[in-house]
């Protein structure tokens, strides 16, 4: 099983950085491995609590925070408040439809040219996969309300 190996590898990193391996951390990382890459803290809590009902939401937040410190996890704000979390090994972008809320993934490569442009024009180092791109998905953009974009 690929995902098992991925979990163990990640746990190795955690230990390597001097952090303890706890039930909560194992469970959260497992949920991140299995659950895809648009999981909110609450999604993760729900998933984790299926097997470990007393792992508290605040523990999820603290775990995520620790994992971000050591670059194992990253989060993205999809626009309307709640953040979504994913393993840093998932390198992709989110295209979020602001009409229907659907999320499309695209490889980071799509943003390479933009990164180059911003670097040369402004010295700005784009952190791809740390922001969501808003717009309208194929279905919603061909519907009644056309995009109000120039």
Instruction: List the single partner that 62 binds among a copy of itself, DNA, none, CB under 5 to 8 Å by kind.
Output: DNA
Name the segment binding a copy of itself (CB under 8 A); options: 6-14, 45-53, 59-67, 88-96.
88-96
Binding partner of residue 104 among DNA, a copy of itself, none, CB cut-off 5 to 8 Å per kind: a copy of itself
Residue 143 phi/psi, 5-degree rounding, is: -80, -155
Residue in this structure with the two tokens 């803290």, named with its chain if needed: 41
Is there a contact between 11 and 29 (Cβ–Cβ < 8 Å)?
yes
55 exposure class (CB count in 10 Å sphere: 0-12, 13-18, 19+): buried
Written as six digits, the tokens of 132 are: 């969501």
- The label of the residue with tokens 């984790």 reads 48
- Minimum Å gap between C-beta 44 and a copy of itself is 19
Count of other CB atoms within 10 angstroms of residue 118: 14
User: Binding residues for a copy of itself, per CB under 8 A?
Assistant: 71, 77, 79-81, 88, 91, 95, 97-98, 104, 106, 108, 110-111, 113-115, 117-118, 121-128, 130-138, 141-142, 147-150
User: Binding residues for DNA, per CB under 7 A?
Assistant: 15, 19-25, 40-42, 52, 54-59, 61-63, 65-66, 81-83
């Amino acid at each position: 099983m690929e995902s098992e190996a991925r979990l163990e590898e990640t746990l190795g990193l955690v230990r390597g950085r001097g952090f303890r391996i706890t039930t909560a951390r194992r469970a959260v990382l497992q949920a991140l491995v299995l659950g895809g890459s648009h999981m909110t803290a609450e999604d993760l809590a729900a998933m984790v609590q299926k097997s470990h009902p007393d792992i508290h939401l605040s523990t999820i937040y603290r775990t995520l925070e620790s994992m971000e410190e050591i670059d194992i996890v990253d989060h993205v704000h999809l626009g309307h408040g709640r953040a979504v979390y994913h393993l840093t090994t998932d390198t992709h972008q989110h295209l979020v439809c602001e009409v229907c809320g659907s999320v499309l993934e695209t490889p980071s490569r799509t943003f390479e040219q933009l990164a180059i442009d911003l670097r040369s024009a402004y010295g700005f180092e784009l952190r791809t996969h740390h922001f969501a791109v808003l717009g309208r998905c194929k279905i919603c953009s061909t519907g009644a309300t056309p995009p109000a974009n120039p």
